[in-house]
Amino acid sequence: MGKPTGFMEFKRMAKERTEPLERIKNFNEFYIPLNEESRKQQAARCMNCGVPFCQSGMVLNGMMTGCPLNNLIPEWNDAIYKGNLKTALSRLLKTNNFPEFTGRVCPALCEAACVNGMEGDSVTVHDNELYIIESGYKNGLIKPNPPKVRSGKKVAVIGSGPSGLAAADCLNKRGHSVTVFEKSDRIGGLLMYGIPNMKLDKSVIDRKVGIMREEGIVFNVNSDVGGTVKAEDILRDFDAVILCCGANEARDINVPGRDCEGIYFAVDFLTENTKSLLNSNFGDKRYYDPKGKNVVIVGGGDTGNDCLGTCIRHGAKSVIQLEMMPKPPLERTANNMWPEFPRILKTDYGQEEAIAVFGADPRVYKTTVKKIISEKGVLKAIQTVQVEFKDGKLTEIENSEKIIEADMLIIAAGFVGTKKYLPQAFGVELTAKNIVKTAENRFATNVSKVFTAGDMHIGQSLVVRAINEGRRCAKEVDVFLMGYTNMI
């Protein structure tokens, strides 16, 4: 423990954000890092707890708390404080393949379980993690390190999201020859197209993928396995196959008028925007443009917030975000005690920007869409209704209907499992929740040498959990190929 009294001497200082009215002028990342001395002080706040809940990765009251990757947080906090970047980087990379991703997009489950957060402010674990990895790149410590010996075994990874990339990285380091198949035109899955650039700059993904290529991983884009690429060819040519295609079957809203123009799923909206940004800086106009439009977003979660920030940057006339659940409390309640993940009100970057631009929080709680109103097949308005849960059932509140003008409706209501054509192509079984079926805490499917990981295996979840899935799956595949594993 670098400084036993650090948690008492130094106040929490999170990295700053560029002011909302300035950052909405572009799609660049907008976080301002602390200087090195301030970062050391933030690391000094870590108490090196006897039982570090921050790295526990537990499920409490139905929610994950603590790092699912079991990151060695007290160890690398101590190394930051002492100025030992190499040690900090070594301990971080021991458990996390992609801290440059999680350090940007993870909701910091670790901080929710920090002992400092019981009565005060938790350690800036999330920011410290990003500092380590970016300092590693800056100081030339992140270099390709291909395996010296190859096993002669070939593994196909279908899907290049966080679980697929993690599995590929681990198996390649073990010495297996790995080929990643991605149906889109760029590597990264929802890291690339499901998260907007201002939240995760796509050059960060390209930088890491470039290193993985130099380490020997083969990446095939525009390769739709189960479509343009036959599953039987994959099974014939590889010793093991891992399905990591996500849970990207979007949840729809079944209301009258749904079939009119002007309605988009969030994943499609975000995908087309990022593609157009990367391909032409929006010059090709091949995206769903909210400029000058009244936009309604169905869904109050992170994806809805990402759509909100995107709409504001494009110059939407107005944006409203509908949320079926009640407004969360400002502080933990008696039934949501530490170290559970705090179910409290979170005002994210998109909501901050909406408040700055429009003068009010865009979120409308306990409300959903009842009817869609169109004119000549084009969206014109929506009818909303207030709702509440009674006896576990969603119930409409009488006489609470309201008409809201809308030129664009974005559905960010989550996902209902994986798209079925790929698992059907391989003959793997699905569960009632439309995810790939395996034995509990295992990754092998009902088809010999076919495995699965990530959201396709556990349902819609977090990037950090997907990385953990990929790592654990890689160990099981290694045992299948070699009869044992020495992977951590």
Strand order of the β-sheet with 318-323 is: 263-265, 408-411, 294-298, 318-323, 363-365
How high is the mean pLDDT of the chain? Answer: 96
Give the Cβ contact number of residue 261 at 10 Å.
Answer: 11
The answer to whether residue 2 scores a pLDDT higher than 70 is no
Summarised one tens digit per residue, pLDDT across range 371-410 is 999 999 999 999 999 999 988 888 999 999 999 999 999 9
Q: What's the 3-state SS for 429-472? A: CECCCCCECCCCCCCECCCCCEEECCHHHHCCCCHHHHHHHHHH
Residue 1 has pLDDT above 70, yes or no: no
Domain 6-138 and domain 154-248+416-482, same fold? Reply is no
Rounded to whole angstroms, the Cα distance separating 46 from 55 reads 13
pTM: 0.96
What tens digit of pLDDT does each residue of 15-48 get? 899 999 999 999 999 999 999 999 999 999 998 8
- For residue 462, CA distances in Å to 101, 195, 316, 467 come to 11, 12, 29, 9
Reference 371, options 359, 385, 360; nearest CA is 385
The order of strands in the sheet holding 177-181 is 218-220, 177-181, 154-158, 240-243, 450-452
Residues facing residue 383 across a β-bridge:
371, 403
Task: List Cα–Cα distances, 484 to 271, 407, 475, in angstroms.
Answer: 40, 58, 9
Q: What percent of the chain has pLDDT over 90?
A: 94
Residues in the chain: 488
**For 335-381, how does the pLDDT look when each residue is reduced to its tens digit (9 = 90+)?**
999 999 999 999 999 999 999 999 999 999 999 999 999 999 999 99
Domain formed by 154-248+416-482, architecture: 3-Layer(bba) Sandwich (3.50)
| Whole-Å CA distances, 52 to 77, 112, 295, 340, 443 | 12, 12, 44, 14, 28
155 Cβ partners below 8 Å, 6+ apart?
168, 171, 176, 177, 178, 179, 238, 239, 240, 241, 242, 477, 481
Judged against a pLDDT cut of 80, whether residue 184 lies above it is answered with: yes
In the predicted structure, residue 303 carries a pLDDT above the cut 80:
yes
Distance CA 79, CA 132 (A): 10
Q: What is the mean pLDDT of residues 130-137?
A: 98
Whether domain 263-411 has CATH 3.30.43.10: the reply is no
Dihedral of alpha carbons 84, 85, 86, 90, sign: positive
Give domain limits for the chain. 6-138, 154-248+416-482, 263-411
> Does the domain made of 6-138 have the CATH classification 3.90.600.10?
no
Plot region of 213 (φ>0 → left; ψ -120 to 50 → alpha; else → beta): alpha
For 257, residues 6+ apart whose C-beta sits below 8 A from its C-beta are 371, 372, 373, 374
Q: How many CB atoms lie within 10 A of CB 366?
A: 17
Give 378's strand partners: 261, 375
Q: What is the C-alpha to C-alpha distance for residues 439 and 108, in angstroms, rounded to an integer? A: 29
Structure confidence by residue, pLDDT tens digits, 423-447? 999 999 999 999 999 999 999 999 9
Both structure tokens of 259: 């079939």
Neighbour tally for 222: CB within 10 Å: 12
Mean pLDDT (whole number) for 263-283:
98
Query: 226 pLDDT exceeds 90?
Result: yes
What pLDDT sits at residue 488? 84
Q: CB neighbours of 393 closer than 8 A, spacing ≥ 6?
A: none
| pLDDT at residue 174 is higher than 90 | yes
pLDDT of residue 477: 98
Phi (first) and psi of residue 371, to 5 degrees: -155, 145
Residue 456 is encoded by which pair of tokens?
A: 């396709």
Q: Phi and psi of 421, rounded to 5°?
A: -65, -35
Check pLDDT > 70 for residue 103.
yes
In this prediction, residues 148-167 reach a mean pLDDT of 98
17's torsion region: left (phi>0), alpha (psi -120 to 50) or beta? Answer: beta
Check: CB of residue 309 under 8 Å from CB of residue 196: yes
Q: How far apart are CA 73 and CA 272, in angstroms?
A: 37
